[in-house]
Amino acid sequence: MTVVATDIAVVVPTIGRAELGELIRTIAAGDPPPAMIVVADDRPDPAQPLELPEVRIPVRVVRSGGRGPAAARNAGWLATDTAWVAFVDDDVRPGPDWSAALARDLADLPERAGASTARIVVPLPEGRRPTDEERRTVGLASARWITADMAYRREALLATGGFDERFPRAFREDSDLAVRTIRAGFEIVAGERVTEHPIRARGGWVGSIRAQAGNADNALLRRKYGRRWREVIGEHEGRTGRHLLTVAAAATALGGLLSRRRWPVALGAAGWAALTAEFAVRRILPGPRTGAEIAAMIISSAAIPPAALFHRLRGEVAARRSTTRRPARAVLFDRDGTLIHDVPYLADPDGVRPVAGAADALAALRRRGVPVGVVSNQSGVARGLIRPDDLSAVNARVEALLGPFDTWQVCVHQDEDGCACRKPAPGLIHAAARDLGVAPADCVMVGDIGADVQAAMRAGARAVLVPTTATRPSEVAHARTSAVLADDVAGAVRYALAGRW
């Protein structure tokens, strides 16, 4: 099927870089331009609105609350309805014909093509070799799947659920989504469009130590894909084993020093020095070899092994906790279609009809002392179809028939408002968890549509989907890989109590 401009939306996650305005102008000036640009503002607490240029196509801003690029991209694509979504970072420089090149890349792709990559070009510094810091950016040019510029078919995003928001950095989240896209039966094809990614200074040798936080993401990949995860994502062997030997040698020397035994000190110090020197030389040789660069490489090469292992251990603990089977400490329910029969824009309390088994399921949770809550989208208020008093009356009737509930969290906005609470945004679940005094990871969300599952995943909670006639087949398929499927509310509660994930 031929792709036209109206089938493409562009999502730009941003932390407010100065280049954002020029990027938007370049994309919007294309012939043909995309249908819309969604800017996902990922600043934790934006004091000022983004300064965006006026262009000839719609530009919408959504907020993701500073939870990282994976969360920002999810917030962005969920705000679109086009067949294709192109993700572009806010610091890249697409060519003047980028929009047209994107349309050509996506034109007439077979249905099994789930994504299209761009060719990333990183300009090298003139007159010298790149530093170790700069080489990290240069490596993006040969990255296999990089969302600095990558377009996904909406069907692929729905099938996979989009980006895994447990990856908080711009690292590994793109490879993870690509692997899941391929495993969902899609292909990833190489496009012809070209995008420049400038070299950006990130803090010199201190930045190389800070970059070791990415080892926590490596731990999550290992948890998801097994010991051969590097082979799965197409990456060369890492240095975790050598870092472990380096730290073990240093520990041996320190232990010998504390116990006043000479041979462990000599053996450990020699091993540490040899391994550190090998690591430093490996990093010095490709670079400019200036005095400052050599000194920086020696210092950081000594600091990186313990930093890398610390973050890897931290990541292993977090990854294990995110996948460990554990009973829910709180269970949250969607209202319409889950606890009561769905009546569009219900404004009459007499229309409240609990679904079969809901009362007994809620009673089972209360007997166990598990708090229960309701998280519900009610856009009818913003649309003028439900008066606030009518909403309160309907919720009071639900409370009378199925309560008491320990928390009620209701979003009265519509999609166009760009709020952080309307599901599939995670705001309602975060608010419910705070109200109940539990972590989102200890909550289970029970709902009947994909937005309920996506909100749970984005909040770091677990999810159970109870399909109804309103549930789309793609939402059921997504839930098979990212959540739990139950036949009814009673079954969902059994999963929550057993911690069967």
Q: Is the backbone peptide bond immediately before 404 cis, with ω within 30 degrees of 0?
A: yes
Distance from the first to the final alpha carbon of the chain: 39
Phi, psi of 175 (to 5 degrees): -65, -40
CA distances from 448 to 338, 342, 380, 485 (A): 6, 10, 19, 10
As given in the structure block, the two tokens for residue 406 are 């320990």
For residue 62, the one-letter residue type is: V
Angle at 58 between CA 5 and CA 471, to 5 degrees: 75
CB 116 within 8 A of CB 156: no
Cα distance between residue 11 and residue 153, in whole Å:
13
* Catalytic hit among 164, 334, 406, 448: 334
- HEC secondary structure over 429-453: HHHHHHHHCCCHHHEEEEECCHHHH
The length of the chain is 501
Sheet holding 484-485, edge to edge: 407-411, 372-377, 330-333, 443-447, 462-465, 484-485
Paired tokens of 258: 């504390």
Query: Could you say which of 7, 90, 336, 452 is catalytic?
Result: 336
Establish whether 176 is a catalytic residue: no
Q: What tokens does 43 get?
A: 């600043």
Counting other chains too, the contacts that 231-234 makes at CB distance below 8 Å and 24 or more residues apart are 232/179, 233/144, 233/145, 233/172, 233/175, 233/176, 233/178, 233/179, 234/144, 234/175
Q: Is 42 marked active-site?
A: no
For the annotated catalytic residues, the residue numbers are: 334, 336
